[in-house]
Amino acid sequence: MSGATPAQILSAAGVPFATFRHTPIRTHQDVERELGLPTAQLLKTLAFRADGRFVLVSMPMALPANYGRIARAAGVPRARLRRADEEDLAVLGMAPGGISPLTEVADRTVVFHTSVPDMGTVYCGSGRADETIEVAAASLVALVDPVLADVAG
């Protein structure tokens, strides 16, 4: 388990944020139907495993992910990058539909799409499928200190 929740990580760092509960979400369609939030402000976070470590990738919900670019940004061969399964997510303390770029797991690389720092207020996973975090993108970037790369395609 990762220890602190994403909300606890934000609180401990003094980063202003809000959370809100909703029905559980797992897909892009669930997000659109249940949350009613501006699509341009929604971040999806994808979780991968590569060479024994986690790779977390946050990017605008509307952009398609390019696994080759993700692998390059994370510094691993594409052939060794695989989507994290539910068992892997449990190690992170997260559920499908609630993946967050905020974790205390030490062996990880976090990648943000190059557009994230300029997105203003964003909505991202809280670790739970029934809760979303609202936070300033600039604050999230400053706290996470991710690799910035164009991982869309």
Q: Is residue 100 part of a domain?
A: yes
Q: What is the DSSP letter of 116?
A: G
Q: Is residue 94 part of a domain?
A: yes
Q: Is residue 82 part of a domain?
A: yes
**How much is the average pLDDT of 70-79?**
97
Q: What is the model's pTM?
A: 0.93
The count of structural domains within the chain is: 1
Tell me the pLDDT tens digit for each residue of 111-153.
Answer: 999 999 999 999 999 999 999 999 999 999 999 999 999 999 9
59, pLDDT greater than 70: yes
Phi-psi domain of 9 (left: phi exceeds 0; alpha: psi -120 through 50; beta: other) = alpha
Q: Is residue 61 part of a domain?
A: yes
Tell me the pLDDT tens digit for each residue of 93-117.
Answer: 999 989 999 999 989 999 999 999 9
User: For position 141, which CATH number holds?
Assistant: 3.90.960.10
CA atoms of 39 and 79, how far apart (whole Å): 31
| DSSP structure string for 26-50 | -SHHHHHHHH---GGGBEEEEEEEE
Q: Is residue 1 part of a domain?
A: no
What would the two tokens of residue 82 be?
A: 């695989």
CA atoms of 114 and 7, how far apart (whole Å): 24
Q: Is residue 144 part of a domain?
A: yes
Q: How many CB atoms lie within 10 A of CB 123?
A: 21
Confidence of residue 88 (pLDDT cuts 50, 70, 90): very high
Q: Is residue 47 part of a domain?
A: yes
Q: How many CB atoms lie within 10 A of CB 144?
A: 20
Residues 93, 1: contact at Cβ < 8 Å? yes
**How much is the average pLDDT of 68-95?**
96
Q: Which domain, by its residues, includes 145?
A: 6-149
Task: Look at residue 2 in the predicted model and tell me its pLDDT.
Answer: 56
